[in-house]
Amino acid sequence: MSEEYESEIAASRADIAAVLCGIVDGITTGSLQLSDEDESIVVDIPDELTLEIEFETDGGDLSLELEMEWSQPAVEGDGATEKPSEDDAETTLPVGAADASATLARFEVFRDRGGEWRWRLRHRNGNIIATSGESYTRKHNARKGLQSVVRNAPDAEVTDETLTE
| φ, ψ (nearest 5 deg) of residue 37 | -65, -30
CA distance 132 to 52: 37
Percent of the chain at pLDDT exceeding 90: 10
What is 13-47+80-155's CATH number?
Answer: 3.30.160.160
Residue in 121, 125, 117 with CA at minimum distance from that of residue 88: 117
Check residue 18 and give its pLDDT: 80
Q: Give per-residue pLDDT as tens, 72-88.
A: 776 555 444 444 344 44
- Residue 106 pLDDT grade (very low, low, confident, very high; cuts 50, 70, 90): confident
CA distance 146 to 155: 15
Residue extents of the structural domains in the chain: 13-47+80-155
Angle at 15 between CA 13 and CA 19, to 5 degrees: 115
- Residue 90 pLDDT grade (very low, low, confident, very high; cuts 50, 70, 90): low
* Average pLDDT in the chain: 77
Q: Give per-residue pLDDT as tens, 12-66.
A: 888 888 888 878 888 888 888 887 666 777 888 898 999 999 999 988 899 999 8
Q: Which residue has the higher pLDDT, 9 or 93?
A: 9
- Residue 136 pLDDT grade (very low, low, confident, very high; cuts 50, 70, 90): very high
**96 and 151 Cβ atoms separated by less than 8 Å:** no
Check residue 40 and give its pLDDT: 73
Starting at the edge strand that comes first in sequence, how are the strands of the sheet with 88-94 ordered?
88-94, 105-111, 117-123, 128-131
| φ, ψ (nearest 5 deg) of residue 119 | -130, 155
